[in-house]
Structure 1
Amino acid sequence: MHICLLTNEYPKEGFPHGGLGSFVKTLAEALVKSGVKVSVIGLNYTPNEEIQMLEGVKVYRLKRSKLRGLAWFFNSTMINATIASLNKKYPINIVESPELGLAFINKIKNINYVIRLHGGHHFFAEAEKRGINRWKGFQEKRSFQKSDAFIAISRYVKSHTETYLSYLNKPVVYINNPINTKLFTPVLGNEKEGQIVFAGTVCEKKGVRQLIQAFPLIKKQFPKATLEIYGRDWLFPDGSSYMQMLKDKELPLLGVIAKDLHFNGAIPFTEIPSIYAQAEVCVFPSHMETLGLVAPEAMAMQKAVVFTNKGPGPEIIIDGKTGLLCNPHSPRDIAAKIIWMLEHKQEAQQMGVEAGKAILERFDLEVLVQENICFYEQIIKS
C-alpha cells in the first residue's frame, strides 16, 4: 500500500510548525513501521526544492511560487506533476489532504482521494465569527466534491462541518488523531512549584489573551506561580505580530508580575514532553478546536490539565475526573480552574493518573494506526 499525504507543514528542523504537521509526522512514521509506503508532498519552507528520506518517509518539499494572483496555479501544477510522476514509479493507492487540499488536484484513475477533517475554512470562520472568504470557501467546496471519503478526527468536527458542507453521501469514518505515548510518557519528580504551561500557536483562538488576563488572579493566591507560553507566533493580515500585540497591550496591565510570564517561542516537538514534565498545571483554553492534540499529549503524561469546554473539549476530558474544563472566554473561570488544581494537589494528581489511563485506551498510536490502515483498505477495495 502506498499513501501520499499532502501538507506544507511537515516538520523541518529550524522551522516552527503546527499541530497538523506533528500529526502527519506521527501518522506517517507509524504507517511506515507497519509496512506501508508513505510519501509526503508539499511546499517548502525555504525558496528551493528538496527531497528527504526521514524515518522511512519520503518527503518532497517543492519550491513555492510567490507570483501574485497566480501562485495557486503554479503551486498546484507542481504538486500535480509530482503526484503523477511518483504514481508512475510507485503506484499510489490513497492521496490524503486536509479540507482545502484537493481543490486543484487532478484526479488520477485508480487513486482514491481522502480528506481528513482537521477543521477547515467554514468550520473556523463560524467559530471565530468571521465571514466566509469566497475564494477559500470555493476551494473547500470543490475539494469536498473531489474526495472519495472522509476521516473525522473528532465527533464534533464531523457534526459541525456538515452544518456547512455536504459529505455527498460518501463514506465518513471517525478516527482520533493518535498520540505517541512512547514520547509522551509520565516523568515524575520534575515539576516546578506553581509552574503553569501553555503550548500551541500564540493566537486569539487559542485563548492566550484570556489566559494572560487570568494570571493576576492566580498570582493573588499563589505568588510563586509562573506562566510559561510555548509556541509559534501568529501574524495579522497586515503582517504584524500577535505576540507583540500581547506584549504591548496586555503585559503592561500586569505590572510587576509581568516578570513571571515568559514567551518562550516555538520549540521542537520532541522537547515538548520535557516542558510538560516541569509543569504543575497544563492549560489550553482554546476558543475552538477540532480535537486539540496538546491536551491529550499532556494527559498521556498524567499531568493536571485544564482544557476548553467548547467544541470537542467534553469528548477529551471528563470534567472533574480526567481534568477540568473551563470557559475559554472567561479569565475568571480559567483562573478558578487553575487555582483549584494548585490548591488540590492530591486530587489533581489522581486526575492525571485517570487521564493517562483514558489516553492509553482511546489514543494509543499502535491501535489507531491499524484503524487508519483498515479504513484505507476498505476504500481501496470499494
Structure 2
Amino acid sequence: MHICFITHEYPKTGFPHGGFGSFVKIIATALVTKGIHVSVVGINYSETNEESIENGVALYRLKKNTVKGLSWWLNSKAINAKIREIHKKKPIDIIETAELGLAFLTKIKDIQYVIRLHGGHHFFAEAENRGIDWWKGFQEKRSFAKADAFVPVSNYVKTHTEKYLSYRKKPVTTIFYPINTDLFSPLHVNVVPFQIVFAGTICEKKGIRQLIQAFSIVKEKYPEATLEIYGRDWLFPDGSSYQQMLVEKEFPKLGSYADAVRFHGAIAFESLPAKYAQASVCVFPSHMETQGLVAPEAMAMEKMVVFTKLGPGPETITDYETGLLCNPHNPEDIAEKISWVFANKEKSIEIGKRARTFVLKKYGLENSVNQNIIFFQSLLIKKR
C-alpha cells in the first residue's frame, strides 16, 4: 500500500508547524513500521525544492511560489505535477489531505482521496461566530465534492462540519488522533509546586487571555503560583502580535503578579514532555478544538489536566475522573479548577493515573494506526 499525505505543515527544524503537521508525522512514521510506503507532498517554507527520507517517510517539499494573485494556482500546479511523478514511479493507493486540500487537485483514476477532518473553514467560522469567506468556502465545498471518504478526528467535528458540508453518502469513520505514549509517558522528575503549564499557539481561541486573567485569581490564594507559556505567537491581520497585546492590556491588571507569567516561545515537540512533567497542572482552556493534542499528551504523562468543557472536551475528559473540564470563557471557573488541583494533591495523582490508562486505550498509537490501516484497506477493497 502506498499512502500520500498532502500537507505544507510537516515538521521542519527551525520552522513553526501546527497540530496537523504533528499528526501527519506521527501517523506517517508509524505506518512505515507496518510496511506501508508513505510519501508527503507540500509547499516548502522557502523558494527551493527539497527531497529527503526521514524515518522511512519520503518527503517532497516544493518550491514556494509567491507571485501575487497566482501563488495558489502555481502551488497547486506544482503539487499536481509532483503527485503524477510519484505515482508513475510507485503507484499511489490513497491520497489524504485536510478539508481544503482537494480543491485544486486533479484526481487520478484508481487513487482513493480522503479528507481528514481537523476542523475546516466552515467549522471554525461557526465556532468563532464569524462569516464564511467566499473563497475559502468555495474551496472547501469543491474539495468535499471530490473526496471518496472522510475521517473526522472527533465525533464533535463530524457532526458540526455536517451542518454546513455534505459527506454525499461517502464512507465516514471517526478515528481519534494517535498519541505517542512512549514519548509522552511519566517522567520521574521533581514537580515544581504550584506551577501551571500552557502549551499551544498564543491566540484568542486557545483561551490564553482568560487563563492569564484566571491566574490573577489563583495568585491571591496561592502566592507561589507561576504560569509557564509555551507556543508560537499569533499575528493579527495587520501584522501586530497577539502576545504583545496581552502584555500591553492584560499584564498591567496583574500588577506585581506579572513577573510570574513567562512566555517561552515555540519549543521543539520532543521538549514538551519535560515541560509537562514539571507542572503541577496543565491547563488548556480552548474556546474551540476539533480534538486537540495537548490535553491527551499531558494526560498520557499522568498529569492533571484542565481542559475545555466545550467541543470535544467531554470526549477527552470525564470531569473529576480523568481530569477537569472548565468554562474557557470564565476566568473564575478556570481559577476554581486550578485551585482544586492545588488543594487536592492526592486525588489529582489518582486522576492522573486514570488519565494515562484512558489515553492508552483511546489514543494509543498502535490502536490508532491499526484503525487507519483497516479503514484504508476497506477503501481499496471497495475500489476493486
> Do the two structures share a fold, i.e. TM-score over 0.5?
yes
Q: Do structure 1's residue 375 and structure 2's residue 342 form an aligned pair?
A: no
- Tell me the number of residue pairs that the alignment of Structure 1 and Structure 2 aligns: 382
Using the alignment, how far apart are the partners of 1:266 and 1:372 within structure 2?
30
- Matched letter for residue 230 of structure 1: Y
- Matched letter for residue 20 of structure 2: L
Alignment of 1:263-278 (within 5 A): 263-278=263-278
Alignment of 1:1-382 (within 5 A): 1-382=1-382
Deviations along 1:196-250, one digit per CA (max 9) or x if unpaired, are 0000111100000000111110101111110001011111111111111111111
Aligned-residue RMSD, C-alpha: 0.7
Aligned 8 A contact 1:16 1:267 in 2: no
Using the alignment, how far apart are the partners of 2:109 and 2:238 within structure 1?
42
The Cα shift of 1:46 comes to 2.0
- Matched letter for residue 344 of structure 1: N
* Gap runs ≥5 in structure 1: none
* Gap runs ≥5 in structure 2: none
Q: Secondary structure at the match of 1:172?
A: coil
- Matched letter for residue 317 of structure 1: I
- Matched letter for residue 29 of structure 2: E
TM-score with structure 2 length normalisation?
Answer: 0.99
Using the alignment, how far apart are the partners of 2:201 and 2:39 within structure 1?
26
Q: Secondary structure at the match of 1:99?
A: coil
The Cα shift of 1:49 comes to 1.3
- Matched letter for residue 48 of structure 2: N
- Matched letter for residue 211 of structure 1: L
The Cα shift of 1:146 comes to 0.4
Deviations along 1:262-320, one digit per CA (max 9) or x if unpaired, are 01000011110011001000000000000011000000000000000000000000001
Using the alignment, how far apart are the partners of 2:33 and 2:46 within structure 1?
29
The Cα shift of 1:47 comes to 2.2
Using the alignment, how far apart are the partners of 1:342 and 1:47 within structure 2?
50
The Cα shift of 1:148 comes to 0.2
Using the alignment, how far apart are the partners of 2:42 and 2:246 within structure 1?
32
The Cα shift of 1:188 comes to 2.9
The Cα shift of 1:160 comes to 0.7
Q: Secondary structure at the match of 2:182?
A: coil
Q: Secondary structure at the match of 1:150?
A: strand
Using the alignment, how far apart are the partners of 2:172 and 2:324 within structure 1?
30
The Cα shift of 1:189 comes to 3.5
Deviations along 1:167-202, one digit per CA (max 9) or x if unpaired, are 000000011010000100011332101110000111
The Cα shift of 1:367 comes to 1.1
State percent identity of aligned pairs. 61
Using the alignment, how far apart are the partners of 2:222 and 2:56 within structure 1?
48
Aligned 8 A contact 1:18 1:200 in 2: no
The Cα shift of 1:369 comes to 0.2
The Cα shift of 1:150 comes to 0.3
Which deviates further from its counterpart, 189-198 or 149-158?
A: 189-198
Deviations along 1:11-37, one digit per CA (max 9) or x if unpaired, are 000112111111110000000011110
Using the alignment, how far apart are the partners of 2:252 and 2:52 within structure 1?
45
TM-score with structure 1 length normalisation?
Answer: 0.99
Please identify runs of 4+ aligned residues in structure 1 that moved more than 2 A. Answer: none
Using the alignment, how far apart are the partners of 2:194 and 2:301 within structure 1?
18
Q: Secondary structure at the match of 2:108?
A: coil
